[in-house]
Structure 1
Amino acid sequence: MDFSREIADKLKLPQWKVKNAIELLEDGKTIPFIARYRKEKTGELDEIQIREISDLLEHFKKLHERKQEIIRIVEERGKLTQELKKAFLGASTLQELEDLYAPYKTKKKTRADLAREKGLTPLAELLKSSFSQNDELISTFIDKEKGVNSIDDAINGAKDIIAEEIAINLPLRGKLREVIRKSGKLRSERGEAEDPKGIYRDYYDFSQPISQLVPHRILALFRGEREKAIKISIETTDDLLPIVVKMMNYDNKLAYYAELIEAAKDSLKRLLLPSIEREIRNELKEMAENRAIAVFSKNLRNLLLQPPLGSKVVMGIDPGYRTGCKIAVIGKYGSVKYYDTIYPTPPKNETIQAEMKVVEAVERLGVEIIAIGNGTASRETELFVAETIKKNKLDCKYLIVSEAGASVYSASKVAIEEFPDLDVTTRGAISIARRIQDPLAEYVKIPPEAIGVGMYQHDVNKAKLKKALDREVESAVNFAGVNLNTASKHLLKYISGLNEKSAENIVKYREEKGLFKKREELLKVKGIGPKAFEQAAGFCRILDGENPLDSTTIHPESYQIAKAVLKSFDITLENFAEIKEDLRNKLQEFDVHGFCKSTGYNPITVRDVVEALKKPGLDPRDELPRPLLRDDVLTMEQLQPGMMLEGTVRNVVDFGAFVDIGVKQDGLIHRSKMGRKIRDPLEILSVGQIVKVKVLSVDLERSRIALELLQESS
């Protein structure tokens, strides 16, 4: 089936671009590869557009499969007509398809089914069409053996048939859904379960139009209902009965108009409204889940792509109270140089002994940065570190690092393989330190859903969340690229065209054969053939290899173009590395159009090659702002309204952003305090961003800090 036209129409894209993107996806090419190295074929579609095409392709395939399955089932039951088959095939949404299929599902016998078995279908037709009453005719439907003992029994059975006909009328269902979406309200009230912390007190007596509900509120309401702290219902202010009567075309001159009205009321109360309420609740939940997953995905990407501080000696501290603070010093290339436990926090408060150990480690091992996890006892540890640096005039800075997922990593198979002889908390301190050197390389070892930068992520569909986050990790790793000679198997497995096994084989090849000298050597690795090489090569870099182009984002298939560009400046590969700065200046004025006209090369690819030649070997993350380093600490009690501070964005959600300003509690910049009216805080803020803020208020009792955004950095 070719779904390119439907997808192109939905996304408002040219069909040829969509068709080519689908061909590449169907051929097993990954989204990052298509977006980076197949721009000519897709007309420069970006990753987001290709993702949308991929998702819609999957949706249309599932819809098509469901149509075929339903047609087969209905045909087997002998109820398929050409008109019905055409209706099934013409359904544009899953909801429309299931509405069409509803009357033919295998299900428990309904009141209408029982009435049909009693032979009351002709009577139902009579009630809908007769302009004169005829008790004599109705009495012919009395059949005591079938349980129809009176005229009333007969009419009631006929009304059950009519009520079901009303309930499965597709145009009517669609109209009622539309009316309830626009004018209905979602209402919640106190539930039967205890709510000791008053988490859901805002929803004990709550009502809001469905059209105005925001995703984070929907998820909170559904969670409260699941925990039975609140009860939820959907109310409609409109009188829906006239809509039913009008759409069913009931004439008020009909002899049995009153009975038809009774059937319509019964259908609304017993069949239509409960069914439509379920559908709308599912719609709301899906909308809220999709938004929560999108927020988590964006935050995760920004966290993964925080700039690495690179070759620094880092001390990681995993703070704690009773069990102490685990410290671990990591060398410039990630090796463990030293680890110990100190007790500067309650209940032991052994600050002198802790200070001596930290000072000695910093001075002897040349520690440049101290990374403190942001979990339990983080601020007390921060205070201790700041005072130790100041008192001993240590030549180092510190920063607070997200501990998200550190405990998951520490107990994982990956951590046990890396450090079989260390306990879980020491592994946690190592992970915290390494997140400074290269966040991406460390975070990829943790299941993405365990990294706490989401919004109600525990309330969403687990499979959908995992798919979205894995896709985001893959995108981030391929965006940054990897050093083929240093990347771990955990990073390599996300590279386009590679998998867990081929990543392991690359590491094994390095260990047995030595460092890679050129990209083509990848083809010697077990399990990597021409197809895998085609996808992976451009994302794998080799620094100081035989071919300087291997350090760039240029794909080997475009090396001829790169050589031709260099030749136009009388530059060879041999002297390319020596004159990078001079070449960068020359390339600023490079005539892409003229070059393509004389060589026949595609301008899209040539532009990319020229951009890559300007910055060979550059990690794209190096162009981002660096993390905020500190050497002093504030307490929450020292904060005063009006203070101007710098902070690091820790999480962005629909209603605002949480910012670490160097005190015990992250402050909240509400969406309304971001300097201008915005719908989505993600438009202007991202995880890891350095921002300037003003303190608006401090609530010590509830540990809340309200902030106003003064300026966001680039």
Structure 2
Amino acid sequence: MDNETLTLIKRALPAYKGRQIDVTLDLLNDNNTVPFIARYRKEMTGNLDEVEIREIQDEAHRISKLQQRKQEVLNQISEQGKLTAQLSSAIKAATQLQQVEDLYLPYKQKRRTKATIAKDAGLFPLAQWVMQFKQEPFETVAKQYVNDQVPDLQSAREGVHEILAEAIGERAEFREWIRRYTQRNGILTSKLKRNGQEKDDQQIYKIYYDFQSAFKKVSPYQTLAINRGEKAGILTVKIGVDDSAIERYLKFQLIAQHQGPAVEIVESAYQDAYKRFIGPAIERELRKALTETAQDHAIQVFGNNLYHLLMQAPLKNHIVMGFDPAYRTGCKLAIMDGNGKFLAKQVIYPHQPASEAKRQQAMPAFIKLLNDYQVDMIAIGNGTASRESEQFVAEAIKQINRDVRYTIVNEAGASVYSASAVARAEFPDFNVEERSAVSIGRRLQDPLAELVKIDPKSVGVGQYQHDVPESGLDEQLDRVVETAVNQVGVDLNRASIELLAHISGLSKQTAINIVTYREKHGSFNSRPELKKVPRLGPKAYEQSVGFLRIINGKNVLDNTDIHPESYPVAKKILASLDLKLTQVGTPAVASALEKLNVDRLSGQLNVGKSTLQDILNSLQRPGRDRRDEMPAPILRTDVLQMSDLKPGMKLQGTVRNVVDFGVFVDIGVKQDGLVHISHLSKSYVSRPATAVSVGDIVTVWVLEVDEQRHRIQLTMVSPND
């Protein structure tokens, strides 16, 4: 990377120190992954987290593309013999791609226009004369330009008009000023298109039938909704602005104090240039920029929700039944032991239209299955027949003399997994619905391990995710999954190929090789044994090993976040306290480490404070799973109906989705309730994501219930407040 590009990156990221940017880019260029840098190179980067490292990475990519485009434009203008020192400096100084394109516009190869025809007819000198604002009548000078291609004075005037209008329309400084003015003062409006209401029979877009907002205040979700309505042929959309103010600006720039016969010609030219060239182009640019901003925001919302969904607390060491509800085809049941190993499956028919005989058989068969395998947790999918199945499960639990609970699990994407090659390889003899039951149960046991098997877009925890570029969404969601998997770490001896493939430094092929090696040679006993895996080289080992854990292996440090490169430091710490490796994780270690002076020890061992603190934390809590600190799922034993809800009722619920205008909360009835952004807190909330996250357990109060429209309005503000 050249010095000029590096300077531009630093200028664009003033929040970071120059050295942080230099080191981060060097580490990335040396094929270090973002999770590895964030966890194991803290001192080098100045404790940058993954979000900050990616910001530097993304800005470097943007600036590199900008520099590449600048060079392309410079080369193309130079080939035309029109590159001046002033133009070259302006292009090199540009900090945004749009500025480069504005400067390039007059030199861009274009189709034959009325202006180029007029120039070919020899009218360009006449247009230049007009811009000198001489006092001679136009007709007097224009006579000299009448020829076979310019048959009369009117043709000359029209040709000059076209030349001036096109030239004015291509002036970069004019476009920049008008663009900024429109951004600051424009009004975006949407109107119902003629016959549009016929296409919107459910009146989904009703609030946009006669909508207007300051352009700079249009929210991302409004942008995407309006775009969708426009695409469906329901709405017409426009950005309006005070044209007279723009014309005054152009008049000042082009005419100023000049008088004479040319003034009228120039006025007509700049008015036409704005109406025909500049205005429509800028409206397209601003609509595009508004859409891209909204799409980026929607992608971030989806990514944030996905992260919290993946990081939900696992339900460990419970025998779980996955319950995939259905009417006609029966409810599919699958039982897993405390480690997620499949034990048994069955189909029952508790709902109509099944025969009376089958419905009578369902309850005893279900209870027998619960008792035979000592199931203590039931995960019910939230799809078709979910609430009827919940009622059935609640009635069964009442007949069992031990503690059995259930919860509703979001089954979004379960059908995608069930029909996938991954599911077929895992359960080749199961039908699709039976695989769904397994997936639903495992989602409760370990959401992260199960959800990584599914295309993240299928999980459905976003806002307008179908209106955003698929490539951008895929890239962001891949990053989110990578972050979540590496923050948690995985059990090397149990992790699936899909889980391992998201570990820092590993690819799908190396993940396959690890599992193949594990199946052939048995469980890994130590982290260094990874080096024996085919095609897992030194770099892949360095990047991945700290995120791979071995439980009950030869070395207790292999079950921590400590990287093997820091094992000598960890052993020195223990030795200085007269402790052994076998004592790691015991109260004796915790007590001894609490008394250490981290600053002094950092100097003695020549280890950075951040890395040292991470080592100390790991020595106290080997096998730590940060998801254990997340809210546990709400477990129920009885059913709540929508008809049971009354205004003012206090409930606990699970946040299922976070969008710009509020959050949707599962309170145990068929329909999730909406907490509008204005009811999230007594204090002002600018974005719901700053207040709550997917998976959070929240206390809510019922505001309003509309059974006919299946809508529940909730608040997180106590009525007492």
Which of the five TM-score ranges fits, normalised by the shorter chain?
Answer: over 0.9
Partner in structure 2 of residue 89 of structure 1: 92
Deviation per residue, 1:403-423 (Å, 9 max, x gap): 111111111111111111211
Asked if structure 2 preserves the Cα contact closer than 8 Å seen for 1:399 and 1:629, the reply is yes
Shift of 1:391: 4.0
Asked if 1:656 corresponds to 2:662, the answer is yes
Asked if structure 1 preserves the Cα contact closer than 8 Å seen for 2:255 and 2:263, the reply is no
Asked if structure 2 preserves the Cα contact closer than 8 Å seen for 1:646 and 1:693, the reply is yes
Alpha-carbon distance in 2 for matches of 1:658, 1:242? 50
**Partner residue of 2:23 out of 13, 20, 23:** 20
Asked if 1:604 corresponds to 2:606, the answer is no
**Partner residue of 1:592 out of 588, 598, 603:** 598
**Partner residue of 1:470 out of 475, 478, 490:** 478
**Partner residue of 1:30 out of 29, 33, 56:** 33
**Partner residue of 1:221 out of 218, 226, 229:** 226
Partner in structure 2 of residue 270 of structure 1: 276
Question: 2:575 corresponds to which letter in structure 1?
Answer: K
Deviation per residue, 1:680-711 (Å, 9 max, x gap): 11112011110000000001111110111148
Asked if 1:161 corresponds to 2:169, the answer is no
Question: 2:57 corresponds to which letter in structure 1?
Answer: S
Asked if structure 2 preserves the Cα contact closer than 8 Å seen for 1:314 and 1:370, the reply is yes
Asked if structure 2 preserves the Cα contact closer than 8 Å seen for 1:4 and 1:22, the reply is no
Instruction: Summarize the alignment of residues 124-523 of structure 1 with structure 2, pairs less than 5 Å apart.
Output: 124-134=127-137, 135-143=139-147, 145-146=148-149, 148-191=150-193, 192-193=195-196, 194-237=199-242, 239=244, 240-348=246-354, 351-393=359-401, 395-523=403-531
Gaps of 5+ in 2: none
Question: 1:413 corresponds to which letter in structure 2?
Answer: A
Asked if structure 2 preserves the Cα contact closer than 8 Å seen for 1:129 and 1:254, the reply is no
Question: 2:46 corresponds to which letter in structure 1?
Answer: G
Question: 2:33 corresponds to which letter in structure 1?
Answer: T
Aligned-residue RMSD, C-alpha? 1.5
- In the superposition, the TM-score normalised over structure 1's length comes to 0.97
Question: 1:139 corresponds to which letter in structure 2?
Answer: K
Asked if structure 1 preserves the Cα contact closer than 8 Å seen for 2:115 and 2:162, the reply is yes
Asked if 1:48 corresponds to 2:54, the answer is no
Asked if structure 1 preserves the Cα contact closer than 8 Å seen for 2:192 and 2:209, the reply is yes
Partner in structure 1 of residue 12 of structure 2: 10
Helix, strand or coil: the match of 1:316? Answer: strand
**Partner residue of 1:116 out of 109, 115, 119:** 119
Asked if structure 1 preserves the Cα contact closer than 8 Å seen for 2:133 and 2:258, the reply is no
Shift of 1:454: 0.7
Alpha-carbon distance in 1 for matches of 2:700, 2:510? 47
Helix, strand or coil: the match of 1:172? Answer: helix
Question: 1:100 corresponds to which letter in structure 2?
Answer: L
Asked if 1:555 corresponds to 2:560, the answer is no
Alpha-carbon distance in 2 for matches of 1:540, 1:522? 10
Shift of 1:392: 4.1
Asked if structure 2 preserves the Cα contact closer than 8 Å seen for 1:251 and 1:257, the reply is no
Question: 2:687 corresponds to which letter in structure 1?
Answer: D
Asked if structure 1 preserves the Cα contact closer than 8 Å seen for 2:574 and 2:580, the reply is yes
Gaps of 5+ in 1: none
Structure 1 pair 390–710 and aligned structure 2 pair: CA distance change class (3 A): farther
Alpha-carbon distance in 1 for matches of 2:74, 2:167? 21
Partner in structure 1 of residue 692 of structure 2: 685
Instruction: Summarize the alignment of residues 552-701 of structure 1 with structure 2, pairs less than 5 Å apart.
Output: 552-573=560-581, 575-577=582-584, 580-675=586-681, 676-701=683-708
Shift of 1:149: 2.0
Helix, strand or coil: the match of 1:341? Answer: strand
Question: 2:519 corresponds to which letter in structure 1?
Answer: E
Helix, strand or coil: the match of 1:296? Answer: helix
Shift of 1:359: 0.7
Deviation per residue, 1:587-626 (Å, 9 max, x gap): 1221111112333332232122112212111111112221
User: Which segment drifts farther, 374-383 or 213-222?
Assistant: 374-383
Deviation per residue, 1:376-406 (Å, 9 max, x gap): 2211211221122124455310001111111
Alpha-carbon distance in 2 for matches of 1:542, 1:9? 44
Alpha-carbon distance in 2 for matches of 1:59, 1:284? 18
Question: 2:21 corresponds to which letter in structure 1?
Answer: V
Helix, strand or coil: the match of 1:140? Answer: helix
Structure 1 pair 73–9 and aligned structure 2 pair: CA distance change class (3 A): closer
Q: Identity across aligned pairs (percent)?
A: 45
Question: 1:450 corresponds to which letter in structure 2?
Answer: S
Question: 1:277 corresponds to which letter in structure 2?
Answer: E
**Partner residue of 1:71 out of 65, 69, 74:** 74
Shift of 1:576: 2.3
Alpha-carbon distance in 2 for matches of 1:346, 1:128? 84
Helix, strand or coil: the match of 2:622? Answer: coil
Partner in structure 2 of residue 704 of structure 1: 711
Question: 1:658 corresponds to which letter in structure 2?
Answer: F
Alpha-carbon distance in 2 for matches of 1:393, 1:709? 36
Partner in structure 2 of residue 534 of structure 1: 542
Asked if structure 2 preserves the Cα contact closer than 8 Å seen for 1:250 and 1:257, the reply is no
Helix, strand or coil: the match of 1:361? Answer: helix
Shift of 1:251: 3.3
Alpha-carbon distance in 1 for matches of 2:638, 2:255? 77
Shift of 1:247: 2.6
Alpha-carbon distance in 2 for matches of 1:435, 1:535? 28
Shift of 1:336: 2.2
Helix, strand or coil: the match of 2:340? Answer: coil
Alpha-carbon distance in 1 for matches of 2:243, 2:711? 42
Asked if structure 2 preserves the Cα contact closer than 8 Å seen for 1:408 and 1:446, the reply is yes
Alpha-carbon distance in 2 for matches of 1:6, 1:607? 35
Residues matched between the structures, number: 707
Alpha-carbon distance in 2 for matches of 1:237, 1:700? 47
Question: 2:145 corresponds to which letter in structure 1?
Answer: F
Alpha-carbon distance in 1 for matches of 2:6, 2:447? 39
Deviation per residue, 1:33-88 (Å, 9 max, x gap): 10000111101111111010011111111111212222233333333333333322
Alpha-carbon distance in 1 for matches of 2:365, 2:684? 50
Alpha-carbon distance in 2 for matches of 1:15, 1:543? 41
Helix, strand or coil: the match of 2:586? Answer: helix
